[in-house]
Amino acid sequence: MPKQGNRFQTFADFYPFYLAEHSNLTCRRLHFVGSTLALFCLFKLLTGAGLIWLLYGLLSGYAFAWVGHFFFEKNRPATFKHPLYSFMGDWVMYKDIITGKIQR
């Protein structure tokens, strides 16, 4: 995995690391639930339910993910060091779970 200092050069370099940080099945399931709830909140926000749904979406997405990391995976979320790639990784992993590329 080519790195420049503490940074990955591309998302393709980062994603295998991201998946390794999500090897625990319960952690992945919690990510999936949190992301699904975040999508629901985004839908509510976009349909005029109020700006509070943005907060609900952020809270649900991060709360489920962080519980998965701190209590099941026993590591620090990649968000702390790689926020953009981590956000991208969440949604690529979500797609990979839905399409059956990785186990839910």
Number of C-beta neighbours around residue 22 at 10 A: 23
What confidence category does residue 44 fall into, taking pLDDT thresholds of 50, 70 and 90? very high
What pLDDT does 6 receive? Answer: 60
Q: Where are the domains of the chain?
A: 13-98
Does pLDDT of 20 surpass 60? yes
Average predicted confidence (pLDDT) for the chain: 92
b/e string for 68-95 if b means 16 or more Cβ within 10 A? bbeeebeeebbbeebeebbeebbebbbe
CA 65, 84, 43 angle in degrees (round to 5)?
60
For residue 7, what are the β-bridge partners?
4
Does pLDDT of 40 surpass 60? yes
What pLDDT does 104 receive? Answer: 65
